[in-house]
Amino acid sequence: MAKLNLKLMQEKLAKLNKKTGGSYLKIEDGKKNLPLRIVPDKDGDPFKEFYFHYRMGEGYGSVLCPKMNSNGRESCAICDFVATLYKGGEVEKEHAKEIKAKNRYYSNVIDRENEGDGVQTWGYSKTVYRKLIETCLDEEYGDITDIDEGFDLRVSKTKDSGKAWFEVNFTPSRKESSLSDDPEKVEKWVESQPDISFKEYTSEEVEDILEQYIATTTGVEGEESRGGGDDTEDKKNKMDAIRQQLSGD
C-alpha cells in the first residue's frame, strides 16, 4: 500500500487556504489617469486569459468555455452549436457571433487612489492586454510588475466623439517605483492576493445550459424535457429546427 503523499496534502491545503473571488475593480466612465499598479503573480504571469460564452440566459449570463480554456482538451456543446449556426444564413450567423466564446483578460492590481481596498481584480480587453505585453517587452520598461523597480499605469476610460461606448487605455509612468515603501504591505498584497478564477462547468453541465438556452430562445425543447433520446439523429433534427426558427423559415 502506498504511503500518504504529504507533499500533495500540503499543496491541497495551500489551495484551500488561498483566497479566491476577490473584489473587482470598477473604473468609472470618463475617469482619466487612474493610477494602478499590477501585483506580480507567483507563477510569473500576471495577465490571465479566459474565454466566456456571454448572454446564455437568466441565471448564467456568462459561462466559462470548457473547450477554449482547456486548449481543446474538453468539449463544449455551445461551441458546437455556434459552429452549426455559422453554416446557416445571415440571421443565424449574427446569433452565432453573439454567443461564441470571447476572451477577457484579468490582473490583480492596487488602486493607488484607494490602497486601503487592497488587491482588486481588473478585467480588460484584448487591446489593453496586447499593450501590456508590448510594454513589458519594451526595454525602456521591462517588468512593470517588479516589486522594487516596476511602473504604475495611468488608466483612462473615455469615449471618443461619435462612438457609442467607452474604451479603456493606459499610459505607463515614466518613472519607476516600488510596489510600496512598506515591506509589510508588499508581503500582504503579494501573498494574499486573490486567485483569479471563475466558476467552471463540466461539458455535461454546459450541454444542459445550452438546452435551457435553446428552449427559452427558440421555444424548441431539449431532449430531456421531451423525454427523448440522445442519439445523433435526434440532435441533428433539433439543430435543423433551431436553424429554421432563427432564420424565420
With cell 526595454, the residue in question is 139
Distances (CA, A) of 194 to 31, 116, 153, 188, 249: 25, 15, 20, 11, 49
Are residues 121 and 23 in contact, defined by beta-carbon separation less than 8 angstroms? Answer: yes
pLDDT attached to residue 237:
59
Helices (H), 167-231: 183-191, 203-218, 223-226
Per-residue model confidence as pLDDT tens digits over 136-172: 999 999 999 999 999 999 999 999 888 889 999 999 9
What is the rounded CA–CA span in Å between residue 168 and residue 58? 28
pLDDT confidence of residue 228: 44
Find where cell 499605469 sits: 153
Per-residue pLDDT at 229: 46
Count of CB atoms within 10 A of residue 89's CB? 13
- Kindly list the distances between the CA atom of residue 32 and the CA atoms of 114, 116, 129, 206, in Å, as whole numbers in the listed order: 15, 20, 19, 39
Q: 130 is written with which cell numbers?
A: 496586447
Quote the pLDDT of residue 249.
52
Residue with cell 425543447: 221
118: left (phi over 0), alpha (psi -120 to 50) or beta: left
The full 3-state SS of 107-158, as one line of letters, equals EEEEEHHHHHHCEEEEEECHHHHHHHHHHHHCCCCCCCCCCCCECCEEEEEE
Is 63 within 8 Å of 134 (Cβ atoms)?
no
Complete DSSP assignment for 77-109:
HHHHHHHHHHTS-HHHHHHHHHHS-EEEEEEEE
Which residue numbers in the chain have pLDDT < 70?
A: 1-2, 8-22, 218-249
What does the pLDDT read at residue 207? Answer: 94
Residue spans of the domains in the chain: they are 42-143+191-247
Give the per-residue pLDDT at 112.
97
> Which residues are CB-contacts of 150 (< 8 A; sequence separation ≥ 6)?
37, 38, 40, 143, 144, 176, 177, 178, 179
User: Which backbone phi and psi does 80 adopt, to 5 degrees?
Assistant: -65, -40
Q: What is the predicted pLDDT for the residue at 2?
A: 67
